[in-house]
């Protein structure tokens, strides 16, 4: 075993997880709960009620100083200057060649930008940001904060009882609220495809919030195992698996994260390549795959065309608890990325039939703002 318990960082809620029977595993340098009662039960609970996830391993950053939005736009292809206060946007941190350093969420708090990055990449991200942002841009790493996610169709009811006002948020909105007399940051967002919230809270208060949430009938703690199967069903990529510095936002089929003004103006790392890919199409593209049979096909499996030639690789795969069948995502040569294309997957010498399928595999159920009636 390369990683021992001694080398792992400890989450603020470590003892809380263990007391609830969590199995702890190494992930992103932390001891993290992979499951409590079982991945499938936790997965189904989140889709039907509300699941509490501890994602305190993720990096919470504040980007401040003179015009932090303009500074961040050098490295992100998203419209950050146009992001209004109280709004959240998914974006991508890019290399100068257009490869993806990380994927992240940016919130305009009104005072500064609040950025959440992946746990496994946060230390490298900090170095990258400090190297590439203007010296006057201040980057603060909120290491004294925990991050909890409450996800599922009953999340709003459960959280509103404890934190008045949160149910007024719609998808990708954020605000400051009060819990036990102290300020917490709440956004209506998540990584499961369900309605839900992400809650930034001082680490010493996280126990009290987790206890109060799980004291409600709708809420159970959910481990990393179900987090992965939920995000896969939702078609959401996982950094380090489905995204890396060799993939671009266009290859990853994340064009929605490149807003109109940025397409017109460029001015971000890798813009030449990314704008050309928007115009002409990328060489490879991330697709969803429905796999025949019952056996999961996982990361690393080869993707073959009908002639048996290698045309890509699976980057994530699992057994979908909601659909009761194996699903996967991977990259294929663009001409084969069309919905309905029949492909073969090769894993440990065995061939599987697969069909290119639009994602999400399971429809998103976000609480979007209602369009005003004419």
Partner 1 sequence: MSLHFTGEHEWIRVEGDVGTVGISSHAQEALGDIVFAEVPESGRTLNKGDEAAVVESVKAASDVYSPVAGEVIEGNAALAEDPALINRDPEGEGWFFKIRLADTSELDGLMDEAAYREWVKTL
Closest CB 360 distance from partner 1, rounded Å: 18
Of residues 42 and 218, the one with the C-beta less far from partner 1: 42
Q: Draw the binding track, 217-256, toward partner 1 (x: CB under 8 A; -: no contact).
A: --------x--xx---------------------------
CB of 154 to partner 1, least distance (A): 23
Instruction: Note whether 108 binds partner 1 by CB under 8 A.
Output: no
d(C-alpha 292, C-alpha 275), whole Å: 36
| Nearer to partner 1 (CB atom), residue 133 or residue 226 | 226
Q: How many residues bind partner 1 (CB under 8 A)?
A: 17
> CB 22 → partner 1: shortest distance, Å?
13
**Min dist. Cβ of residue 312 to partner 1 (A):** 21
Bridge partners, 352 (sequence order):
345
Q: At what angle do helices 155-162 and 203-214 cross, to 10 degrees?
A: 120
274 Cβ partners below 8 Å, 6+ apart?
77, 94, 98, 248, 249, 250, 258, 268
Q: CA angle at residue 94 from 89 to 95, to 5 degrees?
A: 170
Q: N- to C-terminal Cα distance for the chain?
A: 62
- Is 39 among the residues that bind partner 1 (CB under 8 A)? yes
State residue 341 phi and psi, 5-degree precision. Answer: -65, 130
Rounded least distance, CB 314 to partner 1, Å: 13
In this complex, which beta carbon is closest to partner 1, that of residue 37 or of residue 160? 37
Q: Determine which residue in the list 34, 166, 213, 238 makes contact with partner 1, applying CB under 8 A.
A: 34
Neighbours of 279 (CB within 10 A): 9
Comparing CB distances to partner 1, the nearer of 125 and 228 is 228
| Positions 310 through 329 that interact with partner 1 (CB under 8 A) | 318-319, 321
Q: Please, which residue, 291 or 332, has the CB nearer to partner 1? A: 291
Comparison of 118 and 229: residue with beta carbon closer to partner 1: 229
Q: Are the C-beta atoms of 155 and 50 separated by less than 8 Å?
A: yes
Virtual CA dihedral for 222, 119, 107, 250, nearest 10 degrees?
Answer: -100
- Least distance in angstroms from the C-beta of 275 to partner 1: 39
Kindly state the smallest distance separating residue 228's Cβ from partner 1, in Å: 8
316 with 238: CB under 8 angstroms? Answer: yes
Angle formed at CA 196 by CA 191 and CA 202, multiple of 5 degrees: 90
Q: How far apart are CA 356 and CA 286, in angstroms?
A: 10
- Chain residues binding partner 1 by CB under 8 A are 34-35, 38-41, 43, 225, 228-229, 294-296, 298, 318-319, 321
């Amino acid at each position: 075993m390369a990683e021992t318990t001694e080398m792992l960082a400890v989450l603020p809620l470590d003892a809380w997880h263990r007391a609830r029977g969590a199995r702890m595993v190494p992930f992103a340098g932390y001891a993290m709960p992979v499951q409590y009662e079982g991945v499938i039960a936790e997965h189904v609970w989140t889709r039907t009620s509300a699941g509490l996830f501890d994602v305190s391993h993720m990096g919470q950053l504040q980007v401040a100083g003179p015009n932090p939005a303009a500074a961040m736009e050098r490295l992100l292809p998203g419209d950050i200057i146009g992001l209004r206060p109280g709004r959240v946007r998914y974006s991508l941190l890019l290399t100068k060649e257009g490869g993806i350093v990380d994927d992240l969420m940016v919130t305009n708090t009104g005072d500064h930008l609040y950025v959440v990055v992946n746990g496994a990449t946060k230390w490298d991200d900090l170095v990258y940001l400090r190297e590439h942002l203007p010296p006057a841009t201040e980057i603060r790493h909120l290491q004294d904060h925990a991050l909890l996610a409450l996800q599922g169709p009953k999340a709003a009811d459960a959280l509103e009882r404890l934190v008045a006002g949160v149910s007024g948020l719609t998808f990708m909105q954020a605000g400051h609220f009060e819990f036990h007399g102290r300020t917490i940051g709440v956004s209506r967002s998540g990584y499961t495809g369900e309605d839900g919230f992400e809650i930034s809270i001082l680490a010493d208060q996280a126990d009290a919030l987790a206890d109060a949430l799980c004291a409600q009938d709708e809420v159970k703690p959910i481990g990393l195992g179900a987090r992965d199967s939920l995000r896969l069903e939702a078609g959401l990529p996982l950094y380090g698996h489905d995204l890396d510095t060799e993939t671009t936002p266009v290859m990853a089929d994340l064009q929605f994260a490149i807003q109109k003004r940025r397409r017109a103006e460029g001015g971000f790392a890798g813009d030449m390549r990314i704008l050309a890919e928007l115009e002409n199409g990328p060489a490879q593209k991330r697709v969803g795959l429905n796999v025949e049979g019952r056996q999961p096909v996982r990361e690393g499996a080869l993707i073959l065309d009908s002639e048996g030639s290698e045309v890509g690789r699976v980057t994530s795969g699992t057994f979908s608890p909601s659909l009761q069948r194996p699903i996967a995502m991977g990259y294929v040569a663009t001409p084969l990325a069309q919905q309905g294309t029949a492909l073969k997957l090769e894993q440990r010498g065995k061939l599987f039939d697969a069909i290119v399928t639009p994602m999400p595999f399971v429809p998103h159920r976000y609480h979007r703002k209602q369009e005003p009636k004419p």
